[in-house]
Structure 1
Amino acid sequence: MAKKTLKRTRVDDSSSDSSEEETVNFDDMSLAQLKEALRDSQLKKNQAEKKMRQALGDITNTSDEENKHRKSKSKGNDAKRRKKRRRVGVRVLDDDSDAEKEGESGSEDGTGSGSEESHTDSDDDARDVVADVASLGRRALKKEIDETYDAKKRFDSKQGIVQGQLRDLFDILPNHLDGKTRQKGWFRRAFLDGMSSQLSNTSTRVRRGAGDSIFKCSSADLLSPASRRQFREKIGWHELGDGESGEGDARARGEYASLDVPILHQGGSKEYDIHTCFLNPVLMRLFAAIVCGPNAAAAMREAEDNGTDIASIAVPVTDNMERIHQISCTEPGAIAAASVLAIWGKSTDIKLQARGDHTNIDYEGRFNEYLEILTTGLHKKSPSILHVFAEWDRQLRGAGRNHGRKKSDGFSRAMEALAAEEESLEGEGESAEGEGNGGGGGGGDENGADSDSDSD
C-alpha cells in the first residue's frame, strides 16, 4: 500500500523568510486525528495568507487615516459606478409604437407582465423622481427671501416664481416658527419627506384610488398608457396642419394645447372660454378625492348622476387633509393643481413629474400659467374668475362638511323658529300690558271703594 503523506509549510512567527516542511503519515492516524490535522493545516494556511496580505498592504507607506479615507472614497466611486439611471427621452410626442410598448410591458409601476429588468428600471425611475424633487426642494428652501419681491411680477421670471412659492409656504407655517426655521436641516427633511409622500399618494389616488369616480370611466381605461391614449383629445391634443410642428419635436403630427382643453371646461368646450374654464366637475371631484378622500369624489359623482344638489350630499367625516389642514376655502393653487392633475391623469405619461415622460407636456409650466390666470383675475376682480371661486366653494364646501363655517339648513330653520317664537312672546307681552293698563283704572276705583268702605 502506498504511503499517503501531506506536505505542509509551517510559517515561523519570528521570521517570514524561514519555513520548514513537515510530513504527516495518514496511515498511522485515526479518523478523528485526520480531521484534526486537516483543520490545523487549514488554520495555519489562513493565518499565513492573512499575514501575507498585511505585508503586501504595507507597501503603500500610508497612515491608517489615509487608508480609511482612500477606502471610503473608493467605495463611494464604486457605488456611483453601480448606480444606473435610465434616461427618458422627452421629445417623443404621442408615438403609437411607444404607447403600445408601454402598455404591453405592464402596469404603471412596472409590475405587470414585463421582465424583471423593466421592473427594476421602474423602481429606479421612481427613486430618481423623488431624488429630483428633493433636490429642487432643497435648492428652493435655501433661497433667501427677497424683500423687493413684487407679487404682481411673480410670473415674470424664475426667481419670482421661487420667491412666490417660498411666501406661499411660509404663510402657512405656525406663528412660533421664525424665518430662520427653513434653514434648519430638520425642517427641510420634514418638508421634503412630506412632499415626496404626497406626490406618491396623489399620483396613486388620481388614477387608481379614485380614478373611476373622478373621470367617470372604468379603472381598466386608466390602467396603462395604451388604454389612456383614447383620452388624448380630452386633454388638448389636436392634429397639426402642413408646415406646423409640435413643441419640442419638428416631426410631431400634433401637439397638446394649454387652454383649448375640454377637460378644463364645463361642457367640454374644445376652445378656451373664459366663462367655463376651470369649471369642469372633473376638477372638483379630483380635488375632493385628494383632500377629502375617494368617498368624497364618489359621493359627488353620485349626486351629479342623480341630479341632486351637491350641497345636500353627506360625506363621511374622517381625518383627511381637509380636517388636518383646516381647509375652509378654495385657493388659486388648488384649482391650478387640480387642472394639471386632471390632464396628467388621462395622459399616456407614467410618472408624475415636471415634464411628461411621454407626451412632453410641461406640467410645471402649465401650473404656473393657470395660477397666473387665476391670481390675475382675483386681483382685477374679474367676474368670470370670481364666479369660478364661488362655484368651487359651493361644490366643495357643500353641506358644510368638515370645516364647520357654513351654517346648515337645520340651523337656519332653528334660528327662524327662535325668532318667530321671540316675536310671538313680544306680541303676547304687549297685549297683556295693554289689558293691564285698561283694567288698572277699574281696579283703582275698586280699591278706592274698598278703601272707603274700610275707612267707614
Structure 2
Amino acid sequence: MAKKTLKRTRVDDSSSDSSEEETVNFDDMSLAQLKEALRDSQLKKNQAEKKMRQALGDITNTSDEENKRRKSKSKGNDAKRRKKRRRVGVRVRDDDSEAEKEGESGSEDGTGSGSEESHTDSDDDARDVVADVASLGRRFVMIKGLWINKSALKKEIDETYDAKKRFDSKQGIVQGQLRDLFDILPNHLDGKTRQKGWFRRAFLNGMSSQRSNTSTRVRRGAGDSIFKCSSADLLSPASRRQFREEIGWHELGDGESGEGDARARGEYASLDVPLLHQGGSKEYDIHTCFLNPVLMRLFAAIVRGPNAAAAMREAEDKGTDTASIAVPVTDNMERIHQISCTEPGAIAAASVLAIWGKSTDIKLQARGDHTNIDYEGRFNEYLEILTTGLHKKSPSILHVFAEWDRILFPDAEDSYAEPGRNHGRKKSDGFSRAMEALAAEEASLEGEGEIWPPSPNKVLSAGSG
C-alpha cells in the first residue's frame, strides 16, 4: 500500500516571506490524530491565504513594521510643512522684500534655528498687528467713509493739500481720504507701514467685513426699528419698491432722461429726498436736511446694536426725548472703536445707508445694481456739504452736528459744533458745589489774616489742641 503523506506549510508570523514545509506520515497516526492533523493543516492554510490577501490588497505591499516607519516619517514631514506654511502666511512683511519672503533663518524648510516658543510669540504678535489693522478698516467705515480709493493707501502726503478744495479733483479726494486715515492711525502704525502690502490687504478686508455687517443690520437686524416698518417690507427688491419716492424718485417730463430703474420715466434725486429731512420734505431744505431721526437710529444700530435703535424708536413713539436713552453697558462698536462724537463721515454714511436700505438694490456697493444710484458719489456730495458748512461755520450745519451730539453723545468732551464744549470733561453738580465750598473757605481764611495754605505744623498743632 502506498504511503500517504501530507505536506503542511508552517508560516512564521514575523515575515510574510518566511515559511517552511514539514511532511506528516498518515500511516503512523490514529484516526483522532489524523483528524487533528487535517484541522491543523486547514487552519494553517487559511491563515496563509488571509495574510496573502492582505498583502495583495495593500498598495504599499509592505510589512506592518515598514508601514509604521513610513507613517511616522510622513507625520514628521507634515509637521515641517505646516510649520513652514504658518511662518510664511502669518509673518507681517512687505511683499517686495525678498529677504522676508525667504525667512530670516536662512533655512530652506523654514524651520529656522530658534526655539518653537519664540517663533510662536512672533506669530502671535504678527496676528495681533494684522487684527489691529483690520479693526482700523472697520472703524474707518463707521466714521470716515464707506469706501476708500485704494491709491490712498499708497500715496504720500501732499503738503500743498487744501482741505477746502478736497472735492475739486480726484487727487484732492484721495488726499482727503489719506488724512482721514491718519486721523485714526494709532502711534504704533506709522505712515510708511500703511504703504505695505499686508497693511492694504488687512485694512481693505476690515472695511469689506464692516460693510457686510452693516448692510445686514440695516435691513435684517434692525430695519424695523430704524425705518419704523415691518421686516417683510424690507425683505425683497419688490417689497422695497414701495419706498422709492421716499428715497428721492421723481417722474421726468417729456424729453428728459434720468438714471436708475425705469430710466426713461424717472430718476433718483440726491438731495430732494424725504428720507434725509426732518419732517420728510420732498425738496432740499438746508434747515432740516440730515436731521431725520431715521439717520440717527441707523447710526445707533451700527455702533450700539439693534436694541439701541429699538429703544430710540420706543422713546419717540412715547414722546420721550431720545437723548435720555442710556448707552448699553455691554461692549459695542462705539466702545471698542472709541467713537466719542459725531463725525461728518458718520452723517454722510448714515444718509447713504438709509437710502440704500429702502432701495431695490441688493448689494451694498459703490453703484446700485438695480437703481444705478452712485452711492459713492452721493457720499462725497453729502460729505462736501457737511465739511464746507463746518469750514464756513454755517449755522444750519453746526445745528446738525449739535443735534446729533445732543441725542447720541450728550456727554461728549468735544464736538464739531462746539469744540471743547465740556473743557475736557463734564463736571458733575457735586463737583461744582465742592469747588464753590473750597473757594468760600479760602476767602474766609484770607479775611481773617490766615496764611493760605496753612503750614503742616500749624495743622498738626491745631489738631493736638
SS in 2 for 1:178: coil
> In structure 2, how many angstroms separate the alpha carbons of the residues matched to 1:196 and 1:185?
17
Q: TM-score, normalised by structure 1?
A: 0.59
Q: TM-score, normalised by structure 2?
A: 0.58
SS in 2 for 1:60: coil
Shift of residue 245 of structure 1? 1.0
Alignment CA distance shift 1:415-1:374 (3 Å)? same
> In structure 1, how many angstroms separate the alpha carbons of the residues matched to 2:201 and 2:463?
97
> In structure 2, how many angstroms separate the alpha carbons of the residues matched to 1:299 and 1:108?
60
Shift of residue 149 of structure 1? 1.6
- Cα pair 2:92 2:126 within 8 Å, conserved: no
* Bigger mean CA offset, 229-238 vs 140-149: 140-149
Alignment CA distance shift 1:232-1:326 (3 Å)? same
SS in 2 for 1:160: helix
CA deviations over 1:180-217 (Å, ceiling 9, x no partner): 01022332232122111101110011111111111011
Alignment CA distance shift 1:33-1:423 (3 Å)? farther
Shift of residue 143 of structure 1? 2.4
* Bigger mean CA offset, 108-117 vs 214-223: 108-117
Shift of residue 159 of structure 1? 1.5
Shift of residue 9 of structure 1? 31
Alignment CA distance shift 1:127-1:103 (3 Å)? closer
> In structure 1, how many angstroms separate the alpha carbons of the residues matched to 2:337 and 2:153?
21
Alignment CA distance shift 1:79-1:24 (3 Å)? farther
Alignment CA distance shift 1:125-1:157 (3 Å)? farther
Query: 1:175 maps to what in 2?
Result: 187
CA deviations over 1:417-450 (Å, ceiling 9, x no partner): 99999999999999xxxxxxxxxxxxxxxxxxxx
- Cα pair 1:224 1:348 within 8 Å, conserved: yes
- Cα pair 1:86 1:125 within 8 Å, conserved: no
Query: 1:215 maps to what in 2?
Result: 227
Can you give the 5+ residue segments of structure 1 that lack an aligned partner in the other structure? Answer: 431-451
The alignment-based identity, stated in percent, is: 96
> In structure 1, how many angstroms separate the alpha carbons of the residues matched to 2:91 and 2:188?
47
* Bigger mean CA offset, 154-163 vs 105-114: 105-114
Alignment CA distance shift 1:104-1:284 (3 Å)? farther
Shift of residue 100 of structure 1? 54
- Cα pair 1:266 1:281 within 8 Å, conserved: yes
Query: Is 1:12 aligned to residue 12 of structure 2?
Result: yes
Query: Which one has a larger percent helix, Structure 1 or Structure 2?
Result: 1
* Bigger mean CA offset, 289-298 vs 357-366: 289-298
Alignment CA distance shift 1:328-1:93 (3 Å)? closer
Shift of residue 153 of structure 1? 1.1
> In structure 2, how many angstroms separate the alpha carbons of the residues matched to 1:109 and 1:325?
40
Can you give the 5+ residue segments of structure 2 that lack an aligned partner in the other structure? Answer: 140-151, 409-419, 451-460
- Cα pair 1:99 1:348 within 8 Å, conserved: no
Alignment CA distance shift 1:74-1:22 (3 Å)? same
SS in 2 for 1:406: coil
SS in 1 for 2:65: helix
> In structure 2, how many angstroms separate the alpha carbons of the residues matched to 1:237 and 1:117?
62
SS in 1 for 2:69: helix
> In structure 2, how many angstroms separate the alpha carbons of the residues matched to 1:98 and 1:243?
61
* Bigger mean CA offset, 277-286 vs 178-187: 178-187
> In structure 2, how many angstroms separate the alpha carbons of the residues matched to 1:259 and 1:379?
21
* Bigger mean CA offset, 278-287 vs 163-172: 163-172
- Cα pair 1:11 1:19 within 8 Å, conserved: yes
> In structure 1, how many angstroms separate the alpha carbons of the residues matched to 2:223 and 2:116?
27
> In structure 2, how many angstroms separate the alpha carbons of the residues matched to 1:297 and 1:100?
48
Alignment CA distance shift 1:219-1:154 (3 Å)? same
CA deviations over 1:154-187 (Å, ceiling 9, x no partner): 1011111111111101111112332101022332
> In structure 1, how many angstroms separate the alpha carbons of the residues matched to 2:185 and 2:364?
26
Alignment CA distance shift 1:337-1:149 (3 Å)? same
> In structure 1, how many angstroms separate the alpha carbons of the residues matched to 2:104 and 2:274?
28
- Cα pair 2:87 2:123 within 8 Å, conserved: no
Query: Is 1:50 aligned to residue 62 of structure 2?
Result: no
CA deviations over 1:285-334 (Å, ceiling 9, x no partner): 00011111111111111111111122222232121121112211111111
> In structure 2, how many angstroms separate the alpha carbons of the residues matched to 1:192 and 1:96?
19
SS in 2 for 1:238: strand
2:427 to 407, 410, 416: 407
* Bigger mean CA offset, 142-151 vs 1-10: 1-10
Alignment CA distance shift 1:61-1:96 (3 Å)? closer
- Cα pair 1:108 1:223 within 8 Å, conserved: no
> In structure 2, how many angstroms separate the alpha carbons of the residues matched to 1:312 and 1:116?
54
Ranked by relative contact order (alpha carbons within 8 Å, sequence separation 6 or more), the top structure is 1
Alignment CA distance shift 1:196-1:252 (3 Å)? same
> In structure 2, how many angstroms separate the alpha carbons of the residues matched to 1:374 and 1:455?
66
- Cα pair 1:303 1:309 within 8 Å, conserved: yes
- Cα pair 2:6 2:25 within 8 Å, conserved: yes
> In structure 2, how many angstroms separate the alpha carbons of the residues matched to 1:48 and 1:16?
9
> In structure 2, how many angstroms separate the alpha carbons of the residues matched to 1:305 and 1:105?
66
Alignment CA distance shift 1:121-1:417 (3 Å)? closer
Alignment CA distance shift 1:114-1:60 (3 Å)? closer
- Cα pair 2:15 2:63 within 8 Å, conserved: no
Aligned length: 432
Alignment CA distance shift 1:239-1:186 (3 Å)? same
> In structure 2, how many angstroms separate the alpha carbons of the residues matched to 1:93 and 1:171?
24
Q: Give the ranges of 4+ consecutive aligned residues of structure 1 lying more than 4 Å apart after TM superposition.
A: 1-139, 248-251, 400-430, 452-456
> In structure 2, how many angstroms separate the alpha carbons of the residues matched to 1:279 and 1:162?
28
SS in 1 for 2:158: coil
- Cα pair 2:273 2:283 within 8 Å, conserved: yes
